[in-house]
Each structure stands twice: as structure tokens, then as C-alpha cells.
Amino acid sequence: MFDFLILAAVFACASAGAWDLFTTDIPDEIPILLAGIGIFTWFIYAGQTMIYTNITNSIIYGTLSLLTGFVLYKKGFWGLGDAALMSAVIYAIPQITLNFTVNIVFVGAFYSAIYAIIYSIKTPGILKMALDDIKKYKLWFLITVAISSLSLFINIIYGISMMVFTAGLLIFWRLSVHIEKHGFKRSIPASDVREGDVLLEYKEWRGIKKHELKALHEKGGFVTVKEGVRFGPVFPIALIITLIYGNLFLHLLGL
């Protein structure tokens, strides 16, 4: 039974991740189906074994995850599909709630950095603006890296690692700012807007619906659409890492 839920979760995450990567959207049906399978399976298991721990944890942890994800969605941090998919995995496999959540944070940060670098290379001018920005604030940049060099007194390898990490974090920060400001926003004719495009005026990260397109096309003019990091692929990667290594943070610390 547990193996079946693992396979279902991996398949759902892989499908949603691929769909999001190529269409910028996660179909509602995928997380709904996975969550339904998870809750139904644990309900049947509880009825057969009289062990209610799994169904209880599924409902509590899954719902808490969904509510947290929904708050982040309303704040514009990610899409509703991302929130739904994360909670669906937890509904299906509540035993991995903590490790899966931690791994999403770590994998998501690394994935976002790689995504931003590739995007900046493909988008003319973004990388140059970020480097010019760093030159403009080079004094603060050097001071921050110099402070991190104090860790050399703890351990040379650790100190060098901290300096490289700090410098990379600062570069990524300025790169992200310029990608968000100049790369992820573009003005297009209203007639070119398609279902799933995210309008700048939306506070939530949601694509325009089919029934909203007609009014927008009739209105005409230009609108600003925004893009973002296609976060879907993070879920299958984080799930597989969770199943193999457990908590990635603790694994990297050697604990």
C-alpha cells in the first residue's frame, strides 16, 4: 500500500513538473487526484487495521500544508498549483511531511538559482546590469565578503566556502532583482494574451482564465504580463531526494 502511494506521488509530481515546465501551469486535476487517492487509501487502511494514525496525520498535515501554501499563494510567492501539489503529496505520504518540506526549500533555492542564471544568459543585458550593479555597490559587496572571511578562523575550508557562498548569494540577489524588474515583465497587445498568462495586475500568482480572455481582447490596448520561475520540477526532485536521503539538510551535515 505504501509503495503504491509512493509511485502515485512520484508519477503525479513528475507529470505536474513537466507540465509546468512546458506550459507554466499545473493542472488542477493532478493534485486533486493524488490527494483523493491518498486520503481514500489511508481511510481504507484504517478500516481494515483499526490503526488511525496515518489517516489522522494525512488530514492534519495535508490540510496545514494546504493552508500554508494558500497563504503564500495569496501573497504572490508561488502559484496555487504549487501549493496544491505540495499538500497533495503530504495527504498521500504524511510520514515524510517534515523532510519533504525542508527539501523543497533547499531544492527550490538551488533550482531557482540555476533557473535565474540560465534565464540571464538567454536574456540579453540582464547579466550585464547585475554586474554593473555590483560594481556600483562594490564597497558594500567587499565589506560583506570580508565579514564572512572571519569564518577562516574557525576552519580554512569552511571559511573559503563561506566567502564563496556569500559572494554568490550577493550576485544572485542582484541578478534576481534585475530579472524580476526587466526580464519577467513584458508589455504585449491584449489580443496576444493567452489562457494561463499571468497579468501584472493580479496580486495572486494565477493565470488568466478562458472566460476572462474575451473581455480583455475586446478591451484592447496593451497589458503587462509577468513570468516567474517554473517551480513545478522542484517537487519530483525534492520527493525523490526525500525518499532516498530523508532530510537533505541533516544529510549534508552528516547527521
DSSP state of 198: E
Task: Check: CB of residue 45 under 8 Å from CB of residue 58.
Answer: no
pLDDT at site 41: 95
The DSSP element (H or E) to which 224 belongs, if any, is strand 222-226
Task: Check: CB of residue 14 under 8 Å from CB of residue 233.
Answer: no
Task: Check: CB of residue 31 under 8 Å from CB of residue 65.
Answer: no
Q: How far is CA 17 from the centre of its chain?
A: 10
pLDDT at site 231: 82
Instruction: List phi, psi (to 5°) of 205.
Output: -90, 85
Instruction: List phi, psi (to 5°) of 233.
Output: -60, -15
Question: For the chain, which residues make up each domain, given as ranges?
Answer: 2-97+230-252, 185-226
Q: How far is CA 130 from the centre of its chain?
A: 23
pLDDT at site 146: 78
- Tens digit of pLDDT per residue, the chain (255 long)? 678 999 999 999 999 999 888 877 788 899 999 999 999 999 999 999 999 999 999 999 999 999 998 988 877 677 788 899 999 999 999 999 999 998 998 888 788 778 777 777 777 677 777 777 777 777 777 777 777 777 767 777 767 777 777 777 677 666 666 666 666 667 777 777 776 666 666 666 666 677 677 777 767 777 777 676 778 899 999 999 999 988 877 766 655
Read off the C-alpha cell for 144.
Answer: 560583506
247: left (phi over 0), alpha (psi -120 to 50) or beta: beta
